[in-house]
Chains A and B, each alone.
Chain A
Amino acid sequence: MLSRTAENLYWLARYVERAEYLARTIDATLRATALPSAYVGKSNEWESAIYTAGVADGFFGKHEQADERSVVDYLAFATDNPSSIRNCIEIARLNSRSVRTALTVEMWDTINGAWIELQQVWVNAPRTRDNLSRFLRFVQETSLRFDGSAYRTMLRNDAYWFSRLGLHLERADNTARILDVKYHMLLPEDEHIGGPLDYYQWTSILRSVSALTAYHWVYRETLKPWLIADLLILNNSLPRSLASCYDNLVRNLDQIGVAYGRQGPAQRHARGVRNRLEHSKMDDIFQHGLHEFIEELIADNSRLGDIIAKQYLI
């Protein structure tokens, strides 16, 4: 397969996943800020949304203050934010056009249809709360449909595996980033059973990775910060957990390795991270420092991205 095709498929999946993650972030932030301040404290939720999206430099280069208006616009629609939802969809479509022949009709339909709807409906729609929440649902549905189309219609060959790599690496990156910004909420240190303030912060974290219901199914407990950390980092039954992302990264890289009859640094690196996650316990992680652990994972994600690019995409 052409390296450029693999690269396009990989980034296509990344951009679609990123768009969904941004939509979830905005959605969770909207909910949090709709609560009376007694429940959420004085922390600026919009500012933290900017940080979890990883676009703080770009944003504060343009805006002094992070408030609903400026953040929603920047994350959802701004053309000068390279990873706004709008740009994600635009780039996803450009990528799709470049690799039309590697996509199934269903995948192309999803991306092309979303792009047309974006142009015709959303770009110029009045910026009301109503429209925003419909827009966010549209983005999430696009991602679900794209992912579902890929899963149900693609041949299981390198095209599929590279697209899965993009998806899972992007997910790992997003989950790690939200943990990086919110890790202090998850520290068990002072052992205080969370007041309403923490409780809503925690639900907000879970909501942004669509794991609120999952939490209750897995732990059958009220929200405990260390369990939330456990769920997002180590529990491989949650699709957005880091452990699950790395399981999938290893599996797809292995498939590629088998098909091509050779393995390389990407397979080794992914396996290394997966093993570390597999053998970690939450207690040890807290002991050695949650933040350090997460920072290391962020660095690992970015290193894996570089290695995959070098080994296959250029």
Chain B
Amino acid sequence: MAVAFDEMNQPDGSLRQAYQELSLWLNDTPPDALEYRRKEAELLFRRIGITFAVYGEAEAQERLIPFDVIPRIISARDWAVLEAGLKQRVKALNLFLSDIYHGRDILRAGTIPEDLIYQNPVFRPEMNGQDVPHDIYVHIAGIDIVRVDPEKFYVLEDNARTPSGVSYMLENREIMMRLFPDLFARHRVAPVENYTDELLAALRSVAPATASAEPNIALLTPGIYNSAYYEHSFLADKLGIELVEGRDLLVRDEQVFMRTTEGLKRVDVIYRRLDDDFLDPLAFRPDSMLGVPGLMTAYTAGNVTLANAVGTGISDDKAVYSYMPEIVKFYLDEEPILNNVPTYRCRQADDLKYVLDNLHDLVVKEVHGSGGYGMLIGPSATKEMIASFRDRLKAQPDNFIAQPTLALSTCPIATEQGLAPRHVDLRPFVLTGREHTTIVPGGLTRVALKEGSLVVNSSQGGGTKDTWVLDE
């Protein structure tokens, strides 16, 4: 694996432009002050109750995501490229979804194999021919970006279902501003706090035509045991909308209502943080206790808008991901601004052969997996792990894709021994409403805290950082 691109230091040891001021500040700041601030931050997080649950760990039901106090800094120039690339990508995702559930030009053109769509469990036949307001499917996208060199950003994953993490983007900034006012005074950092206003505007703009001028918007959560519950309550609060669970809602005459102390109240837009499978036990999983019976009838009648739409999973599926460059070209007739990570489709015989021959060099992912579960990281895997993965791969090749192990860029984190580089990724959040697409400058930077580790997922020992986009 090549030496990773470091976002702060050039290979010759000199500083990159965006980090100049930070470095000066660090020189003036004793290391134990950083440690002291880190502890203070942790206390604040704990008190605010920003925790997440790790599934399958009875003991540590609520844990803090470790927070690193050194900001990750992105120059205005780099951000401009990212922003254009993200907008292009999300536009293509929406066009693709509209096409897949309507005319299917892209299948007829042979750009994507039909069975990849039709036999995909996240494809929702219920959405066939179903119109959604303003043809927007993905209102909120969290696109995972990694960087490998000064010029290249790769999209690692498109999260187009119920992406989470934005509360960390917002809270990390709040806490950094509280802990390091002097550091902020020395930079011009683009603000992120307008995210919730932008989100609210986007949600309002897609209210059904039958809604009143003041549409009633609610955030649907699976409940307090969900790993992202904190975020749900945080967002509902900032948006000033009700945080509802399935049992708070009911469907009558193809309309959705919420139970209030003053009786039933109509709901027009649901920002749902519940997966398709659980939305409506009458339409999807009958054993779901989290959803709302009949929700799909209200949805297909056009009386309620769901954000994101039902069936968006087909656009961020890892097998479909590998076709994203073609998808961008097909709908927009443009070259993709952001690259895909080169991806081997194990469903194709020659790709599968290559993957099997090179398992020790590759990252192999389950097509429908997420959160870093069910993947093989070849270079750090034992012989036994590789052998057992080989069997799984042979048994169900369609279920996997493989990618080269990327040398993710590194940023400094504060350790007890001083600053040390660690691998990072970035999840910016892309909002699409009727009028426009917006991206607040920043995102969630996840960092693999273990030296050399490439796994940034919070469920597997990753931490977060505040992400600064400089406003030059």
Contacts and interface: CB of A to CB of B under 8 A. Distances in A.
B237 interface: yes
Interface string A3-35: 111100000000000000000000000000000
Interface in A91-144: 94, 97-98, 100-101, 108-109, 112-113, 116
A217 interface: no
Interface residues of A, number: 23
B261 A113 contact: no
Contact of B245 (A4, A94, A109, A314): A4
A51 interface: no
B420 interface: no
B248 A3 contact: yes
Contacts of B244: 2
Contact of A1 (B229, B245, B260): B260
A108 B234 CA distance: 13
Contact of B237 (A2, A97, A101, A313): A101
A180 B233 CA distance: 42
Contact of A2 (B47, B49, B234, B248): B248
Main SS of the interface on chain B? mixed
B12 interface: no
A312 B261 contact: yes
Interface residues of B, number: 21
Contacts, number: 49
A1 B247 CA distance: 15
A73 interface: no
A108 B51 CA distance: 14
A4 B229 CA distance: 16
B245 A101 contact: no
B46 interface: yes
B240 to A, nearest CB: 9
Interface-central residue, A101, A162, A260, by most chain B CB under 10 Å: A101
Contacts of B234: 100
B262 A260 contact: yes
Contacts of B223: 98
Nearest to B241: A101
Given A97-B224, A98-B224, A260 B261 contact: yes
A158 interface: yes
Contact of B247 (A4, A109, A162): A4
Contact of A100 (B46, B47, B237, B245): B237
B260 A94 contact: no
B242 interface: yes
B259 interface: yes
Nearest to A314: B259
A101 B224 contact: no
Contacts of B245: 4
A158 B242 CA distance: 15
Contacts of B338: none
A5 B237 CA distance: 13
A162 B261 CA distance: 10
A263 B243 CA distance: 27
Interface string B220-234: 000110000100011
Interface centre among B49, B223, B244, B259 (most CB of A within 10 A): B49
A126 B245 CA distance: 40
The 9 closest A-B pairs by CB, nearest first: A101-B237, A100-B233, A3-B259, A312-B261, A97-B224, A6-B261, A1-B261, A260-B262, A4-B248
23 contacts: A1-B260, A1-B261, A2-B248, A2-B258, A2-B260, A2-B261, A3-B248, A3-B259, A3-B261, A4-B245, A5-B242, A97-B49, A97-B224, A97-B233, A98-B224, A100-B49, A100-B234, A101-B233, A113-B47, A158-B261, A260-B261, A260-B262, A313-B261
